[in-house]
Amino acid sequence: MSTPTIHSAPTGHPAPNPGRSSVKGGLLDPKMLWRSVPDAVRKLDPRTLWRNPVMFVVEVGAVWSTVLAVVEPSWFGWLTVIWLWLTVVFANLAEAVAEGRGKAQADTLRKAKTDMVARRLNGWSAGAGGTEEQVPAPRLQQGDFVVVEAGQTIPGDGDVVEGIASVDESAITGESAPVIRESGGDRSAVTGGTTVLSDRIVVKITQKPGESFIDRMIALVEGANRQKTPNEIALNILLAALTIIFVFAVATLQPLAIFSKANNPGVPDSLALTGDGVTGIVMVALLVCLIPTTIGALLSAIGIAGMDRLVQRNVLAMSGRAVEAAGDVNVLLLDKTGTITLGNRQASDFVPLPGVTPERLADAAQLSSLADETPEGRSIVVYAKQEYGLRARTPGELAGAEWVEFTAMTRMSGVDLEDGHLLRKGATASVAEWIRARGGDVPGALADVVDEISAAGGTPLAVGEVRNGTASVLGVIHLKDVVKQGMRERFDEMRKMGIRTVMITGDNPLTAKAIADEAGVDDFLAEATPEDKLALIKREQEGGKLVAMTGDGTNDAPALAQADVGVAMNTGTSAAKEAGNMVDLDSDPTKLIEIVEIGKQLLITRGALTTFSIANDIAKYFAIIPALFVSLFPGLDLLNVMRLHSPQSAILSAVIFNAVVIVALIPLSLKGVRYTPASASKLLSRNLLVYGLGGIIAPFVGIKLIDLVIQLLPGMS
C-alpha cells in the first residue's frame, strides 16, 4: 500500500458564515408539551428512572417526604412534597418532549411502511428471468431478488442488479424530485418504502428481516435505540458521585445541629424548624436543592435533541457516539468533485492560436459542441453565446450536416458540414491525432497553451478544423472546476474551530493545487486511491486525531468504516451505508460541515447547562444554609445576603425554583446553545461568563421573588 503525500495549501481570510446560523425547531410547542405529560408520568416508574441516578434519588426522597407529610401534615410539608414530585415530573417531561419530537417524525416514516406484497424472483440470474412468486414483504430474506415496476413500492432495502428507473424517495428524504437508480456503479442502492415511477428494475434484498432502513430510522428518532455516549456516561458517573457525597453531607447536618444545640441551650430548635416529620422533609429538600438536579434532568434530552437536529437536516446517525465524535473532529476529508466544486467543469475562456481570431474560435467551438450532451459540452455552447454574442444554434438548423457525438472512445465531438468544412473539439491528444491524420501540422504553440492551462489547474480542450482541404488547430478551450460559492468562508470557520480540511481528488497535483488554493483548504491529497484514503485516515488517527469523511461508493467503504465519523450518501451503495455511522438522505457531501457544527453544538450545550447547574447550586447554598442555621450560628448572618422571610420560605422557595428552572431550560436543551466558531479558550470564557455567572445570579433573583410570594401564604408568616 502506498503512503499518501499531503500537499500544503495556503489559508484564506476570515469571512462571515454563509450557512445556516440557527437550528430550527427548538421552542416548546404547548400542544406537544401537553401530549408529553402522560409519558412523563409513566417515566416515574423506578425501573425506568434508575438509569438516571440523580433523579432516582430525588424520587426516593419525594416518596419518603410524602410518608412524613402524611404522618405529620402541615402546609409547609405538603407544599414541599408537591414541588419535589413536580421536580421529578419536570425532569421526565424534558426527556418526553425530546422523544415526542422524534415520534412525530416516526409517524411520518411509518406511513412508508405498508403491508406490501413483494414479487420475488426464484432462481433469478443475470440474463435469466426466474419464476415470479408473490410473498409478504416481511418474509423477504437477504439475497432474495424482487422485481418492481412503475407505480409499485420497493418492498425492502437492496441494490438494483438489473435495469434503470426513476424513484420517488420523498417518503424518506422529504425531497419531491425523483432520483435515478440503476444497476452497477454507485447509484444502485434503493430503500424499502420508496416508489418506482418509471421503468422496471430487479432488486437484490440486502436487509435482514425487521432491520430495514426505515425500521432503524423509526427506532432512532424515537430514542428507543439511543445508547449513551462515552462523555454522557462519564458525566452521569460524576453526577452520581456528587449526589452520593451530598447524601452523606446532608445526613450529617441534623446530628451536627443537635450536638451544637446541646452546647447552646438558648437555641430553641436544631434546624430552626419544628417536628420530626418537618425536619425529615427539610433534609430531603436540602439534598434535592444541592445535588445537580438541573443537568441531571436535562442530560438525556440534550442527547436526544442532538440526534433530532441531525434528522431535521435529513441525516440519520446510527449512534449518539457518532454525533458526539463529530463535535470533537480534528480533520475533515472532503472529495473535490461535488463537495468543494460544482461537480461539472465549465468553459471559462477561449484561447486562440496565432493567426486565429477569438470570434472564429468561439464559432467553431460552439458548432463542434452542439452534439456534445455532456455538462462540459453544454457549458461551451452557453459560454460562446454569453461572451461572444453567438446565438444558441441547434443541430436541426444545419441541413445536411453530419453530427459527431462525444464518446469516451473518441474523446471528441464535432460536425461535418456539406461544403467539406469539418470541425472537431475534444481532448488535446485526440484532436492533434485527427489533424495529423488529415495532413495538417500541430503547432508548438498548442503545447505551450495546454501546459499553461494545466498548470493553472484547468482542463484544456483543443479545437481543430479542416477547411478547403487544409487541417489546422484553431485554439484551446479552457475548462475549469468551479468552486462552490462560500466554500472558502466555510473552511475559514473550520480553521477557527481548530479543524484541518483536506481535499481528496483523483486529479494530478497541479490541478489539485489550483483548486485547493482557490477553495482555501489546508491540505490536499492528489491522485488519491481508496488505499491512499485509508492510509491517510489511519495516519491521522495514530497522531491522536479524530477524522470525518464522506463517501458513496463500495471502494469508499473501508475508509468510511475506519473514520471516526463516516457519512455515507443515500444515493451510494449498500456497502457504503453499512460502513458509515451516518447516512445523508439528501446525498449532499457538504453536509459534513453542518454535521460537525451540530456535534460541537451538542457538546457546548451540555457543557453550558452543566456549568449553569453547578453555579445554581452555589447560589442555593447562600439561600438555604444561612436561613436554616443562623439561629444556631449567628455568624452565618453575614452570608444571609438574600434576607429571606423565614427558614420555611427559604426551603420552599429554593425547591420551587429548582423545579421551575428545569422547565425553563427545556427549550434551550432542545434548541441547543447557539454556536459560533471560536477558539477553545474563547468558548470557555464565554461559557463561564454567560452560564456560570448567569447561573449564580438567576437563583438569587428567582428565589427572592418566589419568597416574596410565599410569605403571603397561610402558615408562612
* Strands (DSSP E) found in 345-469: 346-352, 402-404, 412-416, 422-427, 459-467
* CA dist., res. 357 & res. 359, Å (int): 5
CB atoms within 10 A of CB 237: 11
DSSP letter, residue 658: H
Report which residue type is found at 428. Answer: T
Closest CA to 605 of 221, 327, 332: 327
Q: Report CA-CA distances (Å) from 610 to 292, 296, 613.
A: 8, 9, 5
Annotation-wise, does 425 bind a ligand? yes
Selecting among 159, 335, 492, 707, the annotated active-site residue is 335
Annotation-wise, does 410 bind a ligand? yes
Annotation-wise, does 409 bind a ligand? yes
Closest CA to 570 of 153, 169, 156: 169
Contact 446, 462 (CB under 8 A): yes
Residues 6+ apart with CB under 8 A from 239: 53, 54, 291, 292, 295, 296, 299
Helix (H) or strand (E) holding 167: strand 164-168
Annotation-wise, does 408 bind a ligand? yes
335 classed as catalytic: yes
* CA dist., res. 63 & res. 57, Å (int): 10
Radius of gyration (Cα) for the chain, nearest Å? 34
* CA dist., res. 67 & res. 226, Å (int): 36
* CA dist., res. 114 & res. 106, Å (int): 14
Annotation-wise, does 406 bind a ligand? yes
Annotation-wise, does 407 bind a ligand? yes
- DSSP of 433-485, one letter per residue? HHHHHTT----HHHHHHHHHHHHTT-EEEEEEEEETTEEEEEEEEEEEPPBPT
* CA dist., res. 159 & res. 205, Å (int): 7
C-alpha cell at 202: 430487479
Annotation-wise, does 556 bind a ligand? yes
Edge-to-edge strand order for the sheet containing 179-182? Answer: 179-182, 164-168, 195-196
Contact 345, 481 (CB under 8 A): yes
Contact 108, 132 (CB under 8 A): no
Distance in Å from the first CA to the final CA of the chain: 82
Contact 43, 49 (CB under 8 A): yes
Annotation-wise, does 341 bind a ligand? no
* CA dist., res. 278 & res. 268, Å (int): 15
Q: Report CA-CA distances (Å) from 267 to 264, 280, 497, 650.
A: 6, 19, 59, 19
* CA dist., res. 63 & res. 484, Å (int): 60
Annotation-wise, does 96 bind a ligand? no
b/e 118-141 (16+ beta carbons within 10 angstroms → b) = bbbbeebeeeeeeeeeebebeebe
**Residue 351 φ/ψ, nearest 5 degrees:** -115, 100
* CA dist., res. 49 & res. 80, Å (int): 21
Annotation-wise, does 107 bind a ligand? no
Annotation-wise, does 369 bind a ligand? no
Residues 6+ apart with CB under 8 A from 175: 169, 314, 586
Strands 200-205 and 500-504: unpaired
* CA dist., res. 608 & res. 692, Å (int): 8
C-alpha cell at 23: 437550528
Annotated binding site: 372, 376, 406-413, 425, 552, 556
Annotated binding site for ATP: 372, 376, 406-413, 425
Annotated binding site for Mg(2+): 552, 556
Residues recognised as catalytic: 335
